[in-house]
Structure 1
């Protein structure tokens, strides 16, 4: 059983590592080692994890909801909500652009991850894996490399209105890549400026024409 699969099962159950460990009768350290690929669970433990997940999903089927964009929400026993979304690595931008318009292909091409949310949203939600520290300036709301971020698409009709300062920044998808940045603009030419929170010379500001942008997402939640 892969580390990401274990992590996703735990998150879908709505459990912290400590709570998941207690549920399985193991130590928190064991769960941490599984999720970081430093140790594999035994065959009997894999069976227990799968059985626990199976019972959970059987109990929750009647509490599932889906918005018009195909994002699935599940109401958890404590009343909170969990969203299930495709997880797109930054280096897979070419593959993402190829299948973006086809909901089924997006879901089948990329792995799934889960986030807890406050309400059932009407927008189009996707998760991304951040690949560098350009948005990690050392502040509380900054995002380190390797984090997973949940983002909601901003319709193109709103792009010319400008991009306000946000808590966690934006995901910009264009022909040359996927970028996690703060955004200035657009200016009178229709260019936006992508700004990093890490002020290292390694991460300079750079412009992108909105004509070259495929889609833009507002980051609304993160997990590390």
Structure 2
């Protein structure tokens, strides 16, 4: 195996590790939201505890990136790719934190009386998971158009968030929602909206890895 082939193999393994981390946080988001809907405190607690696995994966990837940089001294596109990975794992770790935060809302809600549902909460969760998956897919395939599509999809997440806010506000005015539950639901929606922002960050770093330009389209 030539030096270049070995180096390419290391970069591919780095991508695989990143995808694994992404799959972990997507699973935690979906399970965290499910725990909230069903008030399943056992599931919520398990997600909170599993957040350490996301942190461990971040450390593992960061360590591997630094090893490659020190040993291979990559330049140009190779260096951009590794830099992008280092940035993306930070966003994935924050997404994992938000999944744990959603699960904490489930535990806080144990003594509330909830009977209010909004379909937008489920839709925003699916939209966020899709954005993360597509952002990572765009990285693996060097698909800049898909990365830009992820950035555009953040508008959908923002719209769902606004719809949830309006629905909760109307329910509060009509006294058809428990006050504590309204607060926790809004916090969950905000965590999901932030997850969408982190997915945009990942897409921005994909674009950087391909073009060498990092245009900040997100305030995070």
Question: What TM-score do you get using the length of structure 1 for normalisation?
Answer: 0.25
Which structure carries more relative contact order (alpha carbon 8 Å, separation 6+)?
Answer: 2
Question: What TM-score do you get using the length of structure 2 for normalisation?
Answer: 0.25
Higher helix share: 2
Higher strand share: 1
